[in-house]
Structure 1
Amino acid sequence: MKYIIAKNKWILLGIILGAIAGYLYYHYVGCLSGTCAITSKPINSTLYGVVLGGLLFSMFKNKKKDTMNLKEIATDALIVDVRTPEEFNQGHFQGSINIPLQEIAQRADEIKNSQKPVILLSLWGKKRTGNNVFSKPRA
């Protein structure tokens, strides 16, 4: 039960707030003539609020991102660590090769000749610069 509540907390919050808003709408605004299908009875107005609140707050629900574990794809890819040799020697992903970012443009051919997909690793997002080297059209 805790898992269901934790996973759907935004929807549950929307249902609760929607129910309160629906009842308050009936109580303070409502349809006095009784001819309005949704707001003529407190149960209808409350249920309408529940549905709208649940739908509205479902937009805020965390969506699981489609991600892959690096260990799962490492065997089928060339992993290039673009950190400095000192950083690389302090610890690196098993099977990765070290090509410092400053050298990546000069050594791009040896990476481009690989038949495997290339994964660039870095510590602080430096791979974006490396990606630019590989995304430029070949001459």
Structure 2
Amino acid sequence: MKKLSNLNWAWIGAGIGAVGGYLYWKEIGCVTGTCPIKSQWQTMVPYGTLLGYLGADLVQSLLKPKAS
């Protein structure tokens, strides 16, 4: 069984970001439909995935102890 410290948190963050991108589109989105990014879920989910991946990878790299 893997330990939690060995998990690649970036992929977990990508999944959370994808769900967050979809929810952002669903709940906030763009009412008029003229916003090129926010008006379609097909663009918000990849953006959320990318931001979730990068954010979780950044946090993981900051919390990882440095080997000497």
TM-score range, shorter chain: 0.7 to 0.9
Q: 1:35 to 1:7 in 2, by over 3 A?
A: farther
Gapped regions of structure 2 (runs ≥ 5): none
TM-score (norm 2): 0.75
Shift of 1:8: 5.8
Gapped regions of structure 1 (runs ≥ 5): 1-5, 68-139
Name the larger-Rg structure.
Answer: 1
The answer to which structure has the higher helix fraction is: 2
The answer to which structure has the higher strand fraction is: 1
Alignment partner of 1:34: what SS? coil
What code does the residue aligned with 2:57 have?
Answer: S
Q: What's the RMSD between the two structures over aligned residues?
A: 2.0
Q: Which residue of 1 aligns with 2:26?
A: 27
Tell which has more relative contact order, 1 or 2 (C-alpha 8 A, sep 6+).
2
2 CA distance for matches of 1:12 and 1:22?
15
1 CA distance for matches of 2:35 and 2:27?
15
TM-score (norm 1): 0.40
How many residues are paired up?
62
